[in-house]
Structure 1
Amino acid sequence: MKVIAEQDKCVSAGNCVAHAPQVFEQDEDDGSVILLDAHPPEDLAEPVREAAAACPAMAIRLET
């Protein structure tokens, strides 16, 4: 799985961090998404899918 986080679309809701804090973080200044791991291990696949689904701005895409 490859994770793509588009900062320009991010609305700083923080749902991604709530679902997968090992993969996402928020910028201290504006709260926008910071991708920590573009290729997370398989055991994080479900939380990452949940994070992408919970993003109100659809700023997180997943590629297989």
Structure 2
Amino acid sequence: QNEPPTTLAHRLVRRYLVSDHPPSLQRSINEMILAAQINASFGREKVIEWYLNSTNFG
């Protein structure tokens, strides 16, 4: 549950959609489901765009 997200979509989900919920098995499952749905609905290129636009590069 404390492992870092493995995909960009998963990172976005954790950062913006489930960060207000305490870590739990259910939250981890929800993160995986939401990340898969985002990838399927919008595609990798859009996910990369969102990630790059939301990341501070210093």
Return the TM-score normalized by structure 2: 0.34
User: Larger relative CO (CA 8 A, sep 6+): 1 or 2?
Assistant: 1
Task: Choose 1 or 2 for highest CA Rg.
Answer: 2
* Greater per-residue strand proportion: 1
* Higher helix content, 1 or 2: 2
